[in-house]
Amino acid sequence: MTKPVRVALLGCGTVGAEVVRLLHDQAADLTARIGAPIELAGIAVRRLGRDRGALPVGPAVFTTDPLGLVKRDDVDVVVEVVGGIEPARTWLVEALRAGKSVVTANKALLAEDGASLHDAAAEGGADLYYEAAVAGAIPLLRPLRESLHGDSVNRVTGIVNGTTNYILSAMDATGAGFAEALEQATELGYAEADPTADVEGFDAAAKGAILASLAFHTRVGAADVHREGITEVTAADVASAKAMGCTIKLLCIASRGPDAAGVDSVSVRVHPAMIPRTHPLAGVGDAFNAVFVEARAAGQLMFYGRGAGGAPTASAVLGDLVAVARNRLAGVRAASESAYAALPIRPMGEAVTRYHISLDVADRAGVLAAVAGVFAGHGVSIATVRQSGRGEDAELVVVTHRASDAALAATVAELRDLEHVRAIVSVLRVEGEP
Ligand code: NDP
Ligand code: HSE
C-alpha cells in the first residue's frame, strides 16, 4: 500500500466537521481515486471542549496549536476552514513555504492578500487550491483556471452569496422581515461567523475579486471591488420591484473592457439590483448561487448549485484535496497563478447601467418638470416616470435608460438639494434587458 497522505485540518466548524465526516464515510473511494489513503494528522480548533456532535474521530486528534500542527514533519497537506486574515495567513504561508500543499475555503484572505499565498506557493513549489472559496459546491474556479484557459473571458455575472440570496428570496416570496430571514440563514450554517460580511457585501466582494483575478489574469483584491450590501433594501423596494415585474438580487458583476480612455481594464462591482423576473438569475432562490461566464469563443456558460452550507462546501474542499494529493503522489504541481495581464481597474463612475430612483416630493405644479430637468442636466435619459399622490406629497418613481454611475451620482446629489424634494427614498440599479 502506498504511504498515506497526511492532512492537517485547521477548523472544525460548519465546514470542517463535514470534511471530517466525508473523509470517514468515503475513505475507501478516496483511497481508490487518489492511489493512497488520506489520514488526519490532527484537527486544530479554538475550543477543545466544544460539542461537535457525532464525529468519527477521537479527542486525541484535536489540538489548539494550529501552527504547531502545520509545522509537523508528518503533515503533507493543510486544509484551512477557519476563516479570517490572521492568523490564517501565517499558518498557510508557513505551510506553502515548507512545500506543503494547501486547500482553503478562505475567500476573505485570498481577496485581501492572495499575493502572499501565491508567492509562498511558488517559493515552496506547493499547490494552492481554493474551489470552496467561491460559490460553495459549484465547480467554478477549476473551469476558470483550467477549462477556459484557451479562451478569453469578458464578463462574469452572478449571485455568489447564499445568505443574502436567502434573505432577499424570503423577503420577495413571503414578505419576511430582514432580521427574521438572517436568523434563519445563520441557523442553516450559511452566514459567516460575523454576518456583516454577508449582508454588507464583503463576502460577495471577496468572491468577486477571486473570480476577476482568475477570469482576467490580473491580481484583483477586495479593495478594487465596488461594494454595496443589502441592509438598505426595504420591503417597499421589494414591492416596487414587483410592480415593475422585477425582483431584487445581490449581484456580482466583473467585466473586462475599455475604460473611458480606451485602455483595456477590469471592473468588479457588488450591489443589489432589480432584475426582470424573466431573467435566469431571478429564479435562483434559497441559498443557491448561479454564475454566468461569458467568453469570446465559448459564449455564455451558466454554473448553478448550492453556494453555502457545511456539506456542499466540504464537497468542494474534498475535490481539491483529491487533486493536491494526486499531484503529490505524481510529484507534480498544478499551474501557478496566472496574473500576466495585470490590467488596471476601471473606476465605478464609468460603470453603465439603468437606475430606479424613488423620491418623496411635494405634490405641486412644476415639481415633475424640475426633477426631469435635473436628470436632463446630467445627460441621464428617463425611460419611465410613475407618480402616486398622497395628499400634500407624492411618491415619484423614475426609471432611467442606461447611464454612467458618475452621471447618476451627480443627478442624485442635485436632487437632494432641489426644493420640494423631501427625500430620496431609494436608488437601485436595474440590470438585465428591460
Ligand atoms: P465556523 O465558524 O463554523 O468554524 C470555524 C472553525 O475554526 C471552528 O472550528 C473554530 O474552532 C476554528 N477556529 C477559529 N479560530 C481559530 C483559531 N484561532 N485557532 C484554531 N481554530 C480556530 O466557520 P465555517 O465552517 O462556516 O467557515 C470556515 C471557512 O469556510 C471560512 O473561511 C468561511 O468563509 C468559509 N466558507 C464557509 C461556507 C459556509 O457555508 N459556512 C461556505 C464557503 C466557505 P471552534 O470550533 O473551537 O470554535
Ligand atoms: N456566507 C457565505 C454565503 C458562505 O452565504 O454565501 C459561502 O461562501
pLDDT tens digits, residue range 48-69? 999 999 999 999 999 999 999 9
* Domain co-membership, 158 together with 271: yes
* Domain co-membership, 40 together with 153: no
Question: Which residues contact ligand 1 via a Cβ below 6 A?
Answer: 11-16, 44-47, 50, 66, 81-83, 87, 105-107, 132, 136, 189-190, 192-193, 308-309, 313
Is residue 338 in some structural domain?
A: no
* Domain co-membership, 160 together with 284: yes
Min mean pLDDT across 108-122, 141-155, 236-250, 320-334 is at: 236-250
Is residue 231 in some structural domain?
A: yes
Is residue 342 in some structural domain?
A: no
291: containing domain: 141-306
pLDDT 10s digits, 96-112: 999 999 999 999 999 99
* Domain co-membership, 56 together with 124: yes
* Domain co-membership, 292 together with 361: no
**For ligand 1, atom 19: residue with the closest CA:** 46
pLDDT of residue 434: 65
Q: Which of 107, 207, 242, 249 is catalytic?
A: 207
Tell me which ligand sits closest to the C-alpha of residue 165.
2
Q: What is the CATH number of the domain that holds 9?
A: 3.40.50.720
Average pLDDT over residues 319-331: 97
How far is ligand 2, taken at its centre, from the CA of residue 194, in Å? 11
Q: How confident is the model at residue 177 (pLDDT cuts 50, 70, 90)?
A: confident
pLDDT of residue 1: 64
**For ligand 2, atom 4: residue with the closest CA:** 308
User: What's the chain look like in SS3?
Assistant: CCCCEEEEEECCCHHHHHHHHHHHHCHHHHHHHHCCCEEEEEEECCCCCCCCCCCCCCHHHEECCHHHHHHCCCCCEEEECCCCCCCHHHHHHHHHHCCCEEEECCHHHHHHHHHHHHHHHHHHCCCEECHHHCCCCCCCHHHHHHHCCCCCEEEEEEECCHHHHHHHHHHHHHCCCHHHHHHHHHHCCCCCCCCHHHHCCHHHHHHHHHHHHHHHCCCCCHHHCEECCCCCCCHHHHHHHHHCCEEEEEEEEEEEEECCCCCEEEEEEEEEEEEECCCHHHHCCCCEEEEEEEECCCEEEEEEEECCCHHHHHHHHHHHHHHHHHHHHHCCCCCCCCCCCCCCECCHHHCEEEEEEEEEEECCCCHHHHHHHHHHHCCCCEEEEEEEEECCEEEEEEEECCEEHHHHHHHHHHHHCCCCEEEEEEEEEECCCC
**For ligand 2, atom 1: residue with the closest CA:** 191
Average pLDDT over residues 313-339: 97
Is residue 336 in some structural domain?
A: no
Q: What is the CATH number of the domain that holds 398?
A: 3.30.70.260
* Domain co-membership, 300 together with 421: no
pLDDT of residue 174: 86
How far is ligand 2, taken at its centre, from the CA of residue 198, in Å? 7
Average pLDDT over residues 258-283: 97
Mutate to test the pocket of ligand 2, among 190, 199, 286 (most ligand atoms within 8 A of CB): 190
* Domain co-membership, 210 together with 255: yes
pLDDT of residue 126: 98
* Domain co-membership, 29 together with 130: yes
Is residue 178 in some structural domain?
A: yes
Domain count of the fold of the chain? 3
pTM of the model: 0.97
* Domain co-membership, 63 together with 176: no
* Domain co-membership, 271 together with 368: no
Is residue 339 in some structural domain?
A: no
* Domain co-membership, 87 together with 196: no
Q: What is the CATH number of the domain that holds 221?
A: 3.30.360.10
Is residue 340 in some structural domain?
A: no
Q: What is the mean pLDDT of the chain?
A: 96
* Domain co-membership, 128 together with 163: no
pLDDT of residue 158: 97
